[in-house]
Structure 1
Amino acid sequence: MDASEFQFKFGIVKPSLDSSELVFHCQMGRRRAVATEKARGLGFKNSCNYAGGHKEWSDKGESVSK
C-alpha cells in the first residue's frame, strides 16, 4: 500500500522499513509475536515486541498509582 493510502486508512504516516519505532503489543503476547513476524516478513527489520504485553503494562500502572 502506498504512503497516501496508508495514511488515509490508518490516520498516521506509514513507517519506513528501517523505523525503530514499530512496536507491537497485545493483552497476553501471542498476537504481538505474530504481528512482529509478519512485519519483519514485509521488510520492517527493526520491528519489536513490548515484553509482557498490555496486561502486564496495565497491571504495573495500577500498582504504581496505588
Structure 2
Amino acid sequence: MELVEDYRHTPEYKELYTHRKETIERVFADAKEKHGMRYTPYRGLAQVTKWVRLKFAALNLK
C-alpha cells in the first residue's frame, strides 16, 4: 500500500489522479442521483446484485 501511495504522489501520476473525479467518480454520482441508486428496493445479496447489474448495464448502453 505504501508503494502505491508513493506512485500516486509522483508528478506523472498526480496529474492523472486529478482526472479520476471527472471520469470514474462521475459514473457513481450519476447512478446515485439520476437512477435511484441511493437506496435499494430489494433485500438480500442475490436480489440486490441482480438489480445493480441491470442498472449498470443500462448505464453502459447510454
Return the TM-score normalized by structure 2: 0.30
Instruction: Name the structure, 1 or 2, with higher relative contact order (CA <8 Å, separation 6+).
Output: 1
Mark the structure with the bigger radius of gyration.
Answer: 2
TM-score (structure 1 length as normaliser): 0.28
Name the structure with the higher helix share: 2
Q: Choose between structure 1 and 2: higher strand proportion.
A: 1
